[in-house]
Amino acid sequence: MVNFIRRLGVSLGWAAISGAVTFYMGCKSPAEHRHIADQTVQEIISQKYQEGIGREGSIDIERPSTILRRRLLEEQDLVISGPASLGSDRLEVIPHWPDEEYMSVKDDPEAAFERIITDEALQLSLVEALQIGAQNSFDYQQQKEDVFRSALSLDVERNTFRNIFQGQVKSNISADTTGDDTVSGTVQSGTLDVTRNLYEGGQVTAGLAVDLANLLTGGGASSLGLAADTSISVPLMAGSGRHIVTENLTQAERNVIYALWDFEQFKKEFAVNVADSYLRVLRSLDEVKNQRENYRSVTASARRSRRLADAGRLQEIEVDQAAQSELRARQQWISSMENYQGALDSFKMLIGLPPDAKIVLDPNELTKIVAPVEQIRERFVAEEAAQQDQPALPADAPIELKEPSQEDAGPWELDVDVATRVALDNRLDFRKAVEQVYDAQRKVVVAADWLGMELTLGGSASFGSRRSSVGSAQSDDAQLRFDEGLFAGLLTMDLPLERTAERAAYRNSLISLESSVRTVQRQEDQIKLALRNTIRSMRQTRENLYIQIKSVMIAEKRVRSVNLFLEAGRAQMRDLLEAQDALLAAQNSLTAAAVSYRLAELELQRDLGILNIDERGLWQEADPESLAYAKK
């Protein structure tokens, strides 16, 4: 009995030590696996940035704990629903959570926004808004994670062609009581296998097994088992060839580049959308200012009309008209303020900030856009002064209508054909569509390959022998001799008698190819249409800008004249009210035209694919004069 317990203890100890060694050598913590995955993905993304974009680049999906969204929630004491509103590092760690390090506070080595937040509204410039959006926007984060996931999928596909090791340790205790004597013992087994898929289609597998069978009774006999085996399988016809075997890997490699192209295209669209929303908020703010000034002016006119009526110089109906105009001006002023607040809240959501955050935008950004209008206005004033010295044309003089021309065109009002060539060469989403035609062609080749006959050559070799049962404990120890083994060969042929599914797959691959070709054609036409519309819109907006400048000049002159005529009793209050309404409309339209033209320039650069966005979300505008296509 003592010997039985001793042998049992030795056997269990050997099994425990073997298992511990295997666990130590082959197992990593979840945090270590996460770090390895992140490092692998960053290497893949860096490589694909060079291949697909032609420059260095990286993507970090870990959002720091000090992003502006969270700071605003905490420091402005905004309403939240719970810890998830602030970030994953604020979540309560649940039982059995595998990676405590992941829940820790994440530092920001390059903080995008370091300004101190107070109870007052935080003013943001357009540059700051672009940076904040790149770090706080939910859609921006989702796009980065899509790239990250595609790189993870590529790592899995690459692993298919790496050496795959598998190890196992087993300890078995058994007792046989069927006879007069009880036979009991233990069997400890350890196996190590390695498999390698070859790029040409073959698969090689090799394994080594070590067994130790011990009897706990009958004298305690033991035997050592040692065995090695290897096998190979090589397809010779269908399923063979590097282009067939590595198709999934090839597609995974290209999918990472596609994901990067989608991300780069998204960054361009996101930056333009942020600028669009930012400037539209400022335009709404400018309308609030114009409505406020109009309200004051109309209120002063209403008071003035009351005084003139009391003096007998105006009829009571004109006083009522002025009062109605005052009420309408107040309603428009209030409506403009509500529209501004709504536009501002939508902008906050766009860049990933809470809509209740105290944020205001820098009005100087609108001043930069409207400033060139003054230069144009000065030119129009000089032209008008020069025309005053010219005699007026007779009423029956022929009227010549001047069509819009490129005489005063901006630098981005390119020739449509030039713009089309630039876009087709630089648009990443269009390049993706073109490359997907090649993907579809490869799918046709793979589908056609599986229509043929399958012929597979296999072979195996085994050396030594196992000791996998208690009964083998009384055998001699096995020896691993490579000059003595069992060798086998196999040739398998699968005749193409039933290929219904393969035939359908082949036909579907051809349909998919035609669909991908049509996608290129459709997208090419859409790019042409978008560019033609954008350039036409720029030309129309430029003409509208000039018209609105002149409209403001005329409206200002009209208000001054009506005021003088009203004092002289040669005009009615209705004339003044109409002149004030016309001035307000012209001022709002002028600001809208200036903003629209600036946005059209950005949209054109986006549609041309030449608006570069860096990792911080900031754009670098191209120089229209530097375009190679601009020189015919």
Report how far residue 276's alpha carbon sits from residue 343's, in angstroms, rounded to the nearest whole number. 11
pLDDT for position 482: 81
Report how far residue 324's alpha carbon sits from residue 302's, in angstroms, rounded to the nearest whole number. 9
Nearest CA among 480, 446, 483 for reference residue 201: 446
| Weakly modelled stretches of the chain, pLDDT under 70 | 1-26, 108-113, 176-180, 218, 628-632
Nearest CA among 585, 85, 72 for reference residue 357: 72
Nearest CA among 261, 267, 268, 270 for reference residue 147: 261
**Residue 231 and residue 122 in contact, taking contact as beta carbons nearer than 8 Å:** no
Chain-centroid distance, C-alpha 614: 13
User: To 10 degrees, the CA torsion angle through 158, 163, 164, 169?
Assistant: -160
CB count within 10 Å of CB 324 equals 13
Chain-centroid distance, C-alpha 383: 50
pLDDT for position 629: 53
Distance from the first to the final alpha carbon of the chain = 101
Q: At what angle do helices 247-310 and 316-350 cross, to 10 degrees?
A: 160
pLDDT for position 465: 83
pLDDT for position 305: 85
Burial of 316 (0-12, 13-18, 19+ CB in 10 A): exposed
Two tokens at 99? 């990676």
pTM of the model: 0.86
Two tokens at 625? 């004069």
pLDDT for position 178: 60
Report how far residue 539's alpha carbon sits from residue 383's, in angstroms, rounded to the nearest whole number. 22
pLDDT for position 49: 93
Report how far residue 408's alpha carbon sits from residue 405's, in angstroms, rounded to the nearest whole number. 7
pLDDT for position 322: 86
Q: Which residues of 437-466 are buried (b: 16+ CB within 10 A; e: fewer)?
A: eebbebbeebbbbbeeebbbebebbbbbbb
Count of CA atoms in the C-beta half-sphere (13 A) of 46: 7
Tokens 């799918």 -> residue: 443
The per-type count for the chain, helices as H runs and strands as E runs, is 13, 10
Q: At what angle do helices 500-567 and 416-426 cross, to 10 degrees?
A: 130
Two tokens at 109? 């080595």
187 DSSP β-pair partners: 172, 213
Q: Which residues contact 577 (CB under 8 A, 6 or more apart)?
A: 298, 301, 321, 322, 325
Element (H, E) at 206: strand 203-215
Burial of 410 (0-12, 13-18, 19+ CB in 10 A): middle
Count of CA atoms in the C-beta half-sphere (13 A) of 372: 11
CB count within 10 Å of CB 357 equals 19
Report how far residue 88's alpha carbon sits from residue 91's, in angstroms, rounded to the nearest whole number. 5
| Residue 117 CA: distances (Å) to CA of 82, 122, 325, 357, 358 | 22, 7, 42, 11, 10
pLDDT for position 420: 93
pLDDT for position 43: 94
Chain-centroid distance, C-alpha 490: 51
228 DSSP β-pair partners: 208, 463
For 342, phi and psi rounded to 5 degrees?
-65, -45
Report how far residue 582's alpha carbon sits from residue 574's, in angstroms, rounded to the nearest whole number. 12
Looking at 29-153, which runs of residues are DSSP E strands?
122-124
